[in-house]
Amino acid sequence: EVQLLESGGGLVQPGGSLRLSCAASGFTFSSYAMSWVRQAPGKGLEWVSTISGSGGSTYYADSVKGRFTIFRDNSKNTLFLQMNSLRVEDTAVYFCTKEIVGSGAFDSWGQGTLVTVSS
């Protein structure tokens, strides 16, 4: 059974940094692209970033480009999102997702971790 467990969320001041982690199990982690998707309180889903299985290719939404970095440790089956220069509008639940090979659809989701950016 695929399991994705996010951690690292919390309260941070504007301009601050936070690192999210996603521990994966139940599948061959290095074979799958992984993504982060976020959801602001009471709002819709927003794609944030994707990383290939090898980690060699990364993609970002314009809203986070230059501030967020996605990376992975395939030896530890863990996905990360380093978030710098955080803004109030980055406040959201951040979901870790696994993609279907050759499709990119997000077929497995974690329970999410809440990031609150506020002074």
Partner 1 sequence: QSALTQPASVSGSPGQSITISCTGTSSDVGVYNYVSWYQQHPGKAPKLIIYDVSNRPSGVSNRFSGSKSGNTASLTISGLQAEDEADYYCSSYTHSSTWVFGGGTKLTVL
Mark the segment that binds partner 1 (CB under 8 A) among 9-17, 20-28, 75-83, 97-105: 97-105
Using CB under 8 A as the binding rule, whether residue 44 contacts partner 1 is answered as: yes
Q: What does the alpha-carbon distance between residue 109 and residue 89 come to, in Å, rounded to a whole number?
A: 22
Q: What does the alpha-carbon distance between residue 53 and residue 91 come to, in Å, rounded to a whole number?
A: 27
Using CB under 8 A as the binding rule, whether residue 46 contacts partner 1 is answered as: yes
Of the candidates 54, 53, 85, which has an alpha carbon nearest to the alpha carbon of residue 69? 85
Contact 20, 7 (CB under 8 A): yes
Among 12, 29, 34, 35, the residue binding partner 1 under the rule CB under 8 A is 35
Where do contacts with partner 1 occur on this chain (CB under 8 A)? 35, 37, 44-47, 50, 59-63, 95, 100, 103-107, 109-112
